[in-house]
Amino acid sequence: EPGLYIVATPIGNLGDITLRAISILRGAEAVACEDTRVTGRLMQHLGLKKRLIRHDDHADERARGGLLDLAADAPVALVSDAGTPLISDPGYRLVHEARARGLNVVTVPGPSAVVAGLAIAGLPTDRFLFAGFLPQKAKARADVLAELAGIRSSLVFYETAPRLVAALEAIGQALPGRTIAVGRELTKMHEECRSGMAGELAAHYTAHPPRGEIVLMIGPPVAEAAEDIDIDALLAEALTTDKPS
Ligand code: SAM
């Protein structure tokens, strides 16, 4: 069926491609991608030869229009270099405009590092806020962390190995006392998930500089939870005192 198919691809382990992703890619008229070499390798691994069209959110109106014209008549797949398109990856404008045109937009879900990390971190997952990449500059990073500090949920960021220690130190300052988990090289040979306090982890990764790809996760504020318990206790006490004896 014609339309725009948003296809998730592996985040490091080729075995994680879904059966449906393979079948959609096989049937696609064209595959829009971030880097034709990266997607070319995936297609080669799958034994598929397809027209690859480089696309990102900076593409001009005309290039995007061309892809959407194509999707109006035939199935067009959108993939990113790894994981789920649109999640800290290009595709937002394309999907937005495809929907505005009334095209068929179909999700073909699969791996995403944010979910893969949360699934093994051992942090509460009932509420989480994914905030993409932290800013690189110290001031901007501190501002974002200060803004998120009061949010009562786990926080998830994408981070790069060279910036991990600086990020952990900034988190230690802005969100003291919270449990941190670092998910690294998920689904790959050297998958690791390490948790602790910001200071402990900063010390560890200073001594053992990390390599590879990283999801940085922060548990919810503990002080706030304790305050809740206090309020409940106070309320219970108040109610008990009011009861006629
Ligand atoms: N769209 C992708 C997804 O759904 O996960 C994310 C793309 S974003 C440009 C790339 C970032 O995702 C990396 O810098 C890293 O923070 C995170 N990431 C991707 N693969 C990962 C992996 N195997 N292990 C840990 N983090 C990963």
What are the pLDDT digits (tens) for 207-222?
A: 999 999 999 999 999 8
Ligand 1 midpoint to CA 120 (Å): 15
Helix axis angle, 164-174 relative to 138-148, nearest 10°?
Answer: 50
Ligand 1 midpoint to CA 45 (Å): 20
Distances (CA, A) of 212 to 22, 89, 137, 232: 26, 18, 21, 45
List the beta bridge partners of residue 32. Answer: 53, 78
Ligand 1 midpoint to CA 113 (Å): 5
Rg (CA), the chain: 22
Joined together, the tokens standing for residue 52 give: 């690859």
pLDDT at 240: 67
Distances (CA, A) of 84 to 7, 108, 115: 7, 9, 11
Give the separation between CA 42 and CA 53, rounded to whole angstroms. 14
Question: Which DSSP letter does residue 34 get?
Answer: S
pLDDT at 231: 61
Q: Name every protein residue with a CB atom under 6 angstroms from any ligand 1 atom.
A: 11-12, 80, 82-84, 87-89, 112-114, 158-160, 183-188, 213-215
Which ligand 1 atom sits closest to the C-alpha of 185? Answer: 24
Ligand 1 pocket, mutate which of 6, 16, 56, 88 (most atoms under 8 A from CB): 88
Ligand 1 midpoint to CA 133 (Å): 10
Q: Confidence band (pLDDT; 50, 70, 90) for 72? A: very high
Q: Count other Cβ atoms within 10 Å, centred on residue 103.
A: 18
Which ligand 1 atom sits closest to the C-alpha of 12? Answer: 23
Ligand 1 midpoint to CA 160 (Å): 9
> What does the pLDDT average to over 39-53?
98
Give the separation between CA 123 and CA 134, rounded to whole angstroms. 20
User: Could you read off the pLDDT of 141-173 as tens digits, one per residue?
Assistant: 999 999 999 999 999 999 999 999 999 999 999
Strands (E) across 163-231 are located at 180-184, 192-196, 213-218
Please name the residue that has the structure tokens 């010390």. 203
pLDDT at 115 over 90: yes
Ligand 1 midpoint to CA 63 (Å): 26
Count of helix runs (H) and strand runs (E) in the chain? 9, 10
pLDDT at 245: 45
